[in-house]
Amino acid sequence: MSSYDVIIIGSGPGGYVCAIRCAQLGLKTACVEGRETLGGTCLNIGCIPSKALLHASHMLHEAEHNFAKMGLKGKTQSVDWPTMQGYKDDVIGQNTKGIEFLFKKNKIDWLKGWGSIPEAGKVKVGDDVHEAKHIIIASGSEPSSLPGITIDEKIVVTSEGALSLPKIPKKMVVIGAGVIGLELGSVYARLGTEVQVIEYLDHITPGMDAEVSRTFQRLLQKQGLSFTMGAAVQSVETLKTKAKVTYKLRKDDSEATVDADVVLVATGRKPYTDGLGLGELGVVMTDRGQIQTDAHWATNVKGIYAIGDCITGPMLAHKAEDEGMAVAEVIAGKHGHVNYGAIPGVIYTHPEVANVGATEETLKAAGHAYKVGKFSFMGNGRAKANFAGDGFVKILADKETDRILGAHIIGPMAGDLIHEICVAMEFGASAQDLALTCHAHPTYSEAVREAALACGDGAIHA
Ligand code: NAI
């Protein structure tokens, strides 16, 4: 039996970042992981591999649509799917090995196997029981399907199967117009698949600023994705090599059926806490199956904490990372803190979509007086040069104080641009603070400054 200050269960972005921070703070740390490689869903079957396929398919899109316009002519590109899969697997390998290296460098023990907590202060991995003063559960989440749908990860797939299809399908039905459905739907649409997205609501990307959501849907339609909105999927029947998807339109209850080679079920994720023994321990859960924690990520059982997708809040890798660092600091006697009001969200399609803070809808609902500063990428020289003029930056600021309350970007590199606004919000900045900050020319970032200027006396290039 070995003894640790901290044992973390799960090595996804929440768990591995937490482990590194604990080690940096002088705590003797181990991390339990049952997968063959570290990094959890994000590195193995989520964020990282999907970004590799998004990058490769975007390059193809550029070659097909924009190269000739710039005078780049010659052999047309074609897709070698096994090589693209190999590239993706290589990217996964480099990243997961990177975590293994960081564990060694920080003297973190990797306890290989699936962990459970037989009692507070003890973690069982295989036949070994280890002692820990503090246990942090970072066990993540898993896809949640719909009743009446059986996932086989071949024809009816989750995001995991969709990343490793044996061949590029001719027709794909995506159930759910959320982040996963639109990112992976984009990948296959660019690779030549006919993609039909079936969504229960009347708009895509629930919770997103409505104006961004409408623009986003229009741009995706231009790229060839088709949308069936207000449609509740009822069942998916798998035949030998195909599936039949039946849905009901909410407006008139009429039913329709479509065929597909592959059906991607992207209707959300749920916390993964199976086998941890939380019921026997008496750990309090929410009615949505999440582990209930207090403001310091502590559960009701002394010495047991939880972070990331298995607790409340957005299921985002970076939210889990922040919680991982903060709980490590709390355990080390420091003041770990996460500002949940400034966590960005990004969809890595093309164009990218990013947001932070309040939407116009939430501000209206709260009766908060605000002003809007908006700037189109059409007015940004760099974007025009790069065929990236679609989209805009929108900054929402308090009507009286000018303090930034939220921002919504659809356009080139939106996922990077948003961080300027996150930093501004962390410092309680006003839109004028951003507007008065010199921005290099020509950059996409100038569009952020212009949106900030538009909150005041006006943007220059509008
Ligand atoms: P989601 O919650 O974003 O979207 C699910 C969609 O499915 C919703 O629009 C919902 O209305 C629809 N839906 C549900 N039942 C339906 C039915 N019967 N028929 C038709 N439509 C139906 O879930 P998603 O995309 O699966 O993502 C899961 C989680 O993973 C999210 O929390 C997301 O934030 C996270 N994620 C984040 C990424 C990123 O930050 N880039 C990438 C991938 C996942």
- The crossing angle, in degrees rounded to 10, of helices 414-426 and 445-454 is 50
Which pLDDT value is given to residue 1?
Answer: 75
Taking the CB of residue 252, how many other CB atoms lie within 10 A of it? Answer: 7
HSE-CB for 287 with a 13 A CA cutoff: 0
Could you tell me the distance, in angstroms and rounded to a whole number, from the CA of residue 178 to the centre of ligand 1? 4
Lookup: tokens for 214: 């409408």
Rounded Cα gap, residues 145 and 152, in angstroms: 12
Taking the CB of residue 154, how many other CB atoms lie within 10 A of it? Answer: 13
144-203: pLDDT as tens digits: 989 989 999 999 999 999 999 999 999 999 999 999 999 999 999 999 999 999 999 999
197-223: pLDDT as tens digits: 999 999 999 999 999 999 999 999 999
For domain 3-143+270-338, give the fold: FAD/NAD(P)-binding domain (3.50.50)
Is 441 one of the annotated active-site residues of the chain? yes
Could you tell me the distance, in angstroms and rounded to a whole number, from the CA of residue 375 to the centre of ligand 1? 28
Q: List residues near ligand 1 (CB under 6 A).
A: 146, 175-181, 183, 198-201, 206, 232-233, 266-269, 314-316, 346-348
Rounded Cα gap, residues 158 and 403, in angstroms: 41
Q: What is the pTM of this model?
A: 0.97
Average pLDDT, the chain: 97
Atom of ligand 1 nearest to the CA of 314: 32
Could you tell me which residues come within 8 angstroms of residue 365 by beta carbon, excluding any fewer than 6 positions away?
none
Question: Domain map of the chain by residue range?
Answer: 3-143+270-338, 156-267, 342-454
> If we measure between CA atoms, which residue out of 183, 207, 211 comes closest to residue 197?
183
Confidence of residue 91 (pLDDT cuts 50, 70, 90): very high
DSSP label at 152?
-
Could you tell me the distance, in angstroms and rounded to a whole number, from the CA of residue 112 to the centre of ligand 1? 31
Atom of ligand 1 nearest to the CA of 317: 40
Rounded Cα gap, residues 209 and 197, in angstroms: 20
* CA-proximal residue: ligand 1, atom 6 (nearest): 176
415-460: pLDDT as tens digits: 999 999 999 999 999 999 999 999 999 999 999 999 999 999 999 9
HSE-CB for 389 with a 13 A CA cutoff: 8
Which of helix, strand or coil describes residue 277?
A: coil
Long-range own/partner contacts, residues 258-261 (CB < 8 A, 24 or more apart): 258/173, 258/196, 258/198, 259/171, 260/169, 260/171, 260/172, 260/173, 260/196, 261/155, 261/169, 261/170, 261/171, 261/172
Residue carrying structure tokens 């960005």: 344
Residue 264 has pLDDT above 90, yes or no: yes
Taking the CB of residue 402, how many other CB atoms lie within 10 A of it? Answer: 18
Could you tell me the distance, in angstroms and rounded to a whole number, from the CA of residue 176 to the centre of ligand 1? 6
Taking the CB of residue 204, how many other CB atoms lie within 10 A of it? Answer: 23
Strands 304-306 and 345-347, by their bridges, are: unpaired
Rounded Cα gap, residues 181 and 267, in angstroms: 8
Mean pLDDT (whole number) for 264-284: 98
Atom of ligand 1 nearest to the CA of 247: 19
DSSP label at 336?
-
Confidence of residue 75 (pLDDT cuts 50, 70, 90): confident
Cβ atoms of residues 231 and 247 within 8 Å = yes
Rounded Cα gap, residues 399 and 409, in angstroms: 20
HSE-CB for 8 with a 13 A CA cutoff: 37
Atom of ligand 1 nearest to the CA of 144: 26
Which pLDDT value is given to residue 396?
Answer: 98
Is the omega angle on the peptide bond into residue 82 within 30 degrees of 0, that is, cis? Answer: no
Rounded Cα gap, residues 416 and 352, in angstroms: 9
**Amino acid of residue 37:** T
Mean pLDDT (whole number) for 6-13: 98
The residue to mutate among 180, 250, 265, having the most atoms of ligand 1 within 8 angstroms of its beta carbon, is: 180
Rounded Cα gap, residues 429 and 444, in angstroms: 21
227-241: pLDDT as tens digits: 999 999 999 999 999
What percent of the chain is modeled with pLDDT above 90? Answer: 98
Query: Which CATH number fits the domain 342-454, given the four candidates 3.30.390.30, 3.30.830.10, 2.130.10.10, 1.25.10.10?
Result: 3.30.390.30
> If we measure between CA atoms, which residue out of 344, 342, 338 comes closest to residue 311?
338
Tell me if 3-143+270-338 shares its fold with 342-454. no
Question: Which listed residue (337, 368, 441, 461) is catalytic?
Answer: 441
For domain 156-267, give the CATH superfamily: FAD/NAD(P)-binding domain (3.50.50.60)
The H-or-E segment that residue 347 falls in is strand 345-347
Could you tell me the distance, in angstroms and rounded to a whole number, from the CA of residue 417 to the centre of ligand 1? 24
* CA-proximal residue: ligand 1, atom 16 (nearest): 200
